[in-house]
């Protein structure tokens, strides 16, 4: 299995760099036939060859061997994902706290006004004090809602980008991937897109939504839908 994953990932990385097999072979100092055996899963690379491959493809040995599913470009993405989820949860809790405080202050203002028919000076002072506190609470809540909106937008962008990235990588167990497992099940549909184009829409749990709307024909959109479905199944 490790050699099979190595071969698939070498082909995937080579295609991304648009290199021919003979070009890779020349870069790492071996014959075309010898390199082809790596991609076909027939040969286990020696350490020095593995190092050359990691440098050429700007990746890690762990990724090539299937010990890790994230390329160095995406190192830290799990921490970023966890951090965004934590920020969103904590901000939502704070918004709820300030919302409750706002309601309490409004009720207290209402009670003071209703309990004082003559609305005496001391009552006006109390109301003014409560309204000042309410203004501070409202301002803080607005700032929290703004921060939460930014965090949610960043989260949606992250999971959408990650989804399109991870499904392309050969040999990934998507069901056991931390982020992907929280997005499953995935629903993929084809619909009318922008300016008479057709769109492929991807929806999942926890806010996953990604739309590709640049297909000129429905047939092209259906082919992309099928391609993505097959990638998920791998």
Q: Is 210 helix (H, G, I), strand (E, B) or coil?
A: strand
| Contact criterion met (CB below 8 Å) for 68 and 75 | no
Q: What is the value of pTM for the model shown?
A: 0.81
Contact 39, 9 (CB under 8 A): no
The string of pLDDT tens digits covering residues 169-227 is 999 888 888 899 889 899 999 988 667 789 999 999 988 889 988 898 999 999 999 99
Q: Which of 19-33, 47-61, 102-116 has the lowest mean pLDDT?
A: 102-116
Distance CA(120)–CA(130), nearest Å, equals 15
Show the tokens assigned to 55.
């440098």
Q: How many residues does the chain have?
A: 234
124-145 pLDDT, tens digit each: 888 899 999 999 999 999 999 9
**What are the residue ranges spanned by the domains of the chain?**
2-68, 77-166, 185-233
CATH 1.10.260.40 fits 2-68, yes or no: yes
Mean pLDDT of the chain: 91
Q: Using an 8 Å Cβ cutoff, are 186 and 202 in contact?
A: yes
């Amino acid at each position: 299995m490790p050699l099979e994953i190595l071969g698939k990932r070498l082909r995937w990385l080579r295609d991304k760099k648009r290199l021919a097999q003979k070009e890779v072979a020349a870069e790492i100092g071996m014959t075309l036939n010898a390199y082809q055996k790596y991609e076909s899963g027939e040969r286990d690379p020696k350490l020095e060859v593995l190092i050359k491959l990691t440098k050429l493809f700007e990746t890690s040995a762990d990724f090539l061997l299937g010990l890790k599913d994230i390329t160095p470009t995406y190192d830290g993405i799990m921490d970023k994902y966890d951090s965004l989820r934590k920020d969103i949860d904590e901000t939502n809790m704070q918004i709820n706290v300030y919302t409750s405080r706002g309601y309490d202050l409004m009720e207290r203002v209402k009670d003071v006004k209703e309990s004082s028919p003559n609305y005496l000076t001391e009552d006006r002072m109390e109301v003014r004090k409560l309204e000042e506190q309410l203004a501070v609470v409202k301002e803080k809540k607005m700032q929290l809602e703004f921060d939460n909106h930014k965090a949610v937008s960043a989260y949606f962008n992250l999971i959408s980008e990650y989804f399109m990235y991870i499904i392309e990588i050969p040999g990934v167990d998507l069901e056991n991937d931390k982020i992907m497992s929280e997005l499953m099940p995935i629903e993929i549909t084809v619909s009318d897109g922008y300016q008479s184009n057709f769109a492929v829409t991807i929806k999942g749990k926890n806010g996953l939504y990604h739309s590709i709307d640049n297909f000129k024909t429905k047939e092209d959109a259906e082919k992309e839908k099928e391609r993505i479905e097959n990638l998920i199944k791998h």
